[in-house]
Amino acid sequence: MGTTLQSLSALLQRSTINDHEEIIKACNVILKKSRNDVEAQHIKTIALIKLDRFDDAIRVIEEGGDTLKKRLPLERSYALYKSGKLDEATAIATSIGSGRGAKHVEAQASYRAESFDRTGKIYQDLLRDETASTEELTDLQINITATEAQRIWAGQSSSIGDLVPKRENLDVFETAYNVACEHIARGHYEKARMLLKRSKALCQASDELSPEDKEAELLPIIIQEIYVYLRQGKLEEADALIGPINPADITESSTKIVAENHALLTTHRNLNPYLKYKSFSSTSRPNDNDKLFFYQNDILTRNAYVIDLLVQKFDGVSRSTSKTLSQHPSTTLSSDTNSLAVFNAAAHTQGAEGKSAIKKISSLVETRPHDLGLIFVLVQLHVANGNINAAISTLEEFSKRVESTSDDSSLRVRFSPGLVNILVTLYKTQGRKHHINSELSKAAKYWQKKDPSSQPIQLLRAAAISLFNSHDSSDISTAAEIFAHLHSIDDTDRIATAGFVASHAITSPALVESSVKTLSPVQQLIADVNVTALEEAGVQLPTSTTIASLNQGQKRRAPDAETKRSKRVRKAKNMDPNEKVDPERWLPLRDRSSYRPRGKKGKQKAADRTQGGVVNEKTEDGNGSSTPAKGGSQVIGGGSGARKKKGKGKK
């Protein structure tokens, strides 16, 4: 043991902080003489971790047995985390105790395992600890914003939003980058682009980073900036950024994969489909040490299907997607499953459009009646074809099938805000107010029975407002219940409070008396409104409202005298201004005084028009024809009956 300590002492005297390779060589010399030397194994493990040789560090710890494992639990957990063995890393970090280092490792492992709820809770506990240093607090803020961005990308609700730093205090480039990622996940690309520029500027101005470190840190920022430009359709800006980047020089696997896929959409976008397929097939694939997140893998899978469809590999896409879809026979809101249904539908249509595509998808729906993704494809095809009634019928039939199952997971899909919104929007295009209120009422009644934390507040608000504007007393009663429910959940919600007061003000004024005081007085709301000016200017209805009003049978308001268009007076051709105008010029020819009938029939017709002639009695009783009696004439009341031809053989 003395020899080991003496050798280590000499080693440390010769080495510097960056001489990890030399330390490992010296440890190997000692371990050849004493294989179970714990001190040498300990130092070698640390050196390997410093060199990012995590698999080798794990191997040394395993060779050291329980003694070394008990001595280096934190290092072992960290090495396992960096090697992609997340479950083992989390279990060991949890068993260590309340140490801050172990908590950080546990949070990092949970983050990579996409357990963002657990990650957020750990960071909340660490942030509340008053013993944290200023540097650690900065790291915590960076990690919290990264976790928040991942939660949004994963489609999860925010649980640590109150811990995210204020936007005006984003003076660290990592924090600015993570907040930009949040905006990207929400689809706010312009805000994201501004924050990415800020992040780049802060990184370039940092005095703590070497030129090499700056280059490494700037690369993922630029990659995200390229993505934002692509989403905005600014291909030239994306080309300019990706041009200097050589994906082959990128060492981080996940960043390299994203960069290569961006290149397919920028510099390689004009390649023919078969060359693009070849380029995509040669891109990198994730490894265990640097795994992509689930949503990233999902996007890569979709890209692969798009490329396959471009090169007409319809059968392959159909078989692959059908195999996965067969494992999910029930209806689901999973975006990855429903997107597979879209690719499956595209493969079955094989590029067909219009009615041909509708016919093929309709037959496919019969085999998968609960496939929400497939239903949406069929609805979209009907809408694109201009057949709104068919689109509505498709959604209504799907809704009835799902409701008949009485399975709560299926009912969650049936009354999901997205599905309800699509059906309500289709109803609106046809002015079906009763159907809209019925749909919103059913959805609201379903969600009111669920846990408040899982209730879609926006859907409940929309339902309450729409039902309250109805003329049906049952709808108004339902709206009052929804407003009361929303107000009980959050009495600071001004929309819910206003609706609660409005719906109960007449029936139960005492119930809303305290709530009225929390709302802004009417005098305050209309203080800046100039009523006189409004009355003088009149109220101009929006074009869409005007059209809707006209469709409902409302009369168009007469235009002002100044705006009336004068009718154009048509002048007669070759008119002599000195000649007297015939006063009977507007009368039919036979009614003019100058008209003289010609022939036997013409004279008979003229006699029939003479007043005082004999009237046919059959005409008087209303059952006879208008033909005049022989030997006399009759008064003609006008109309087509007098001009009706006689049948053959009659005189």
Instruction: Label residue 645 by pLDDT band (50, 70, 90).
Output: very low
Residue 618: the pLDDT is 45
Instruction: Label residue 62 by pLDDT band (50, 70, 90).
Output: very high
Residue 11: the pLDDT is 55
Residue 264: the pLDDT is 86
Residue 274: the pLDDT is 92
Q: What is the mean pLDDT of residues 141-154?
A: 88
> Which residues sit opposite 287 in a β-bridge?
290
Instruction: Label residue 398 by pLDDT band (50, 70, 90).
Output: very high
* Cα first-last separation, the chain: 144
pLDDT in tens, 234-288: 989 999 999 898 888 888 888 888 998 888 888 888 888 999 899 888 888 877 6
> Tokens 């235009």 appear where?
559
Mean pLDDT: which of 95-109, 235-249, 330-344, 387-401 is highest? 387-401
pLDDT in tens, 530-577: 888 888 887 666 665 554 544 544 444 555 544 445 555 555 666 666
Long-range Cβ pairs for the range 121-128 (8 Å, 24+): 123/147, 123/160, 123/163, 124/160, 124/163, 126/100, 127/163
- Specify whether the CB–CB gap between 96 and 112 falls below 8 A: no
16-25, 57-66, 225-234: range with lowest mean pLDDT? 16-25
Average pLDDT over the chain reads 82
Q: How far is residue 605's CA from residue 596's CA, in Å, rounded to a whole number?
A: 11
pLDDT top residue among 619 and 31? 31
Instruction: Label residue 614 by pLDDT band (50, 70, 90).
Output: low
pLDDT in tens, 421-480: 999 999 999 999 999 999 999 999 999 999 888 899 999 999 999 999 988 889 999 999
pLDDT top residue among 140 and 555? 140
Q: What is the mean pLDDT of residues 475-496?
A: 89
pLDDT top residue among 123 and 596? 123
pLDDT top residue among 628 and 95? 95
Tell whether the model's pLDDT for residue 167 goes beyond 90.
no
160-169, 171-180, 208-217, 581-590: range with lowest mean pLDDT? 160-169
> Tokens 């963002």 appear where?
116
Tell whether the model's pLDDT for residue 2 goes beyond 70.
no
- Specify whether the CB–CB gap between 235 and 229 falls below 8 A: yes
Which letter, b or e, does each residue of 202-230 get, where b requires 16 or more Cβ atoms within 10 Å of its Cβ? bbeeeeebeeeebeebbbbbbbbbbbbbb
Residue 194: the pLDDT is 93
9-23, 135-149, 203-217, 512-526: range with lowest mean pLDDT? 9-23
Q: SS3 for 395? A: helix
Tell whether the model's pLDDT for residue 616 goes beyond 70.
no
Q: What percent of the chain has pLDDT over 90?
A: 38
Residue 620: the pLDDT is 44
Q: List the one residue out of 398, 405, 411, 335 whose CA is nearest residue 368.
A: 398
Mean pLDDT: which of 104-113, 262-271, 616-625 is highest? 104-113
Which letter, b or e, does each residue of 437-452 get, where b requires 16 or more Cβ atoms within 10 Å of its Cβ? bebbbbbbebbbeeee
**In the chain, where the domains are located:** 247-311
pLDDT top residue among 583 and 4? 583
Tell whether the model's pLDDT for residue 301 goes beyond 70.
yes
pLDDT in tens, 4-33: 555 555 555 555 556 788 888 888 888 888
Q: What is the mean pLDDT of residues 302-331?
A: 92
Q: What is the mean pLDDT of residues 342-348?
A: 94
